[in-house]
Chains A and B, each alone.
Chain A
Amino acid sequence: DAKTTQPTSMDCAEGRAANLPCNHSTISGNEYVYWYRQIHSQGPQYIIHGLKNNETNEMASLIITEDRKSSTLILPHATLRDTAVYYCIVRAGSYNTDKLIFGTGTRLQVFP
């Protein structure tokens, strides 16, 4: 499984865009990039995923570089409730090996 590298922590002002980077330089062609977040000690929550095209949903946008070696999760208008740990995961697998391996994530603090 490709490994990911994320900054340990980031700050963002409320109402501003939060841009969370992720490096996955060893990603291979069939591997998806997934983002999850974990608020306090709750179970992780799915945010978005993509293969090679940029993606957008009601929560966030995902920008994947053309070489797919890095990506950025964008929360367009961060709120205090977006304070959480954000995990970038590269997911691959065959029929029997769909492992989900988490890194240590980025702790995003949104301040007023």
Chain B
Amino acid sequence: DAGITQSPRHKVTETGTPVTLRCHQTENHRYMYWYRQDPGHGLRLIHYSYGVKDTDKGEVSDGYSVSRSKTEDFLLTLESATSSQTSVYFCAISAGRLNTEAFFGQGTRLTVV
């Protein structure tokens, strides 16, 4: 299995509090991605990174920010969590060459109450 770890795996937080999810990789891959998955919506791209300090928005970036200060870590922050951000969050990594696969983490289940 690819070396990709998400933490925490489960979290319950209150509305209005900040939350940070971490994705850690040991593959030295250039690309890292954050997705959310809700029933009936498949996986939707939130943000992605194509290098240290290089990030870009995905399909559903409102309410989320990201940071990547080193190759191995990609952080997703909900500045002020809302109930609509209750979801399962997946991180993925890729070498970034089109002829290579992407690997996914096991997900973080976030509940905002």
Interface residues of A (CB under 8 A from B): 30, 32, 34, 38, 41-46, 49, 51, 85, 87, 91-93, 95-105
Task: Tally A-B pairs: CB < 8 A.
Answer: 66
Task: Give residues 21-46 of B contacting A (CB, 8 Å).
Answer: 31, 33, 35, 40-45
Of chain B, the residue at the smallest CB distance from A34 is B101
Are the C-beta atoms of A98 and B50 separated by less than 8 Å?
A: yes
A98 and B45 CA atoms in complex are apart in Å by 12
A38 and B91 CA atoms in complex are apart in Å by 14
Of chain B, the residue at the smallest CB distance from A31 is B98
Chain B residues, CB < 8 A from A105:
42
How many of chain B's residues have a CB under 8 angstroms from any CB in A? 30
Interface residues of B (CB under 8 A from A): 31, 33, 35, 40-45, 48, 50-51, 54, 56, 58-59, 88, 90, 92, 94, 96, 98-99, 101-107
Nearest Cβ on chain A to B31's Cβ, whole angstroms: 6
Question: With A44-B90, A44-B104, A46-B103 given, can you name 15 additional A-B contacts, CB distance below 8 Å?
Answer: A30-B98, A43-B105, A43-B106, A46-B102, A49-B99, A91-B98, A96-B50, A97-B50, A98-B98, A99-B45, A99-B48, A100-B33, A100-B48, A100-B94, A104-B42
Known: A43-B90, A96-B56. A102 touches B101 (CB 8 A): no
Chain B residues, CB < 8 A from A100:
33, 45, 48, 92, 94, 102
Are the C-beta atoms of B41 and A104 separated by less than 8 Å?
A: yes
Of chain A, the residue at the smallest CB distance from B35 is A102
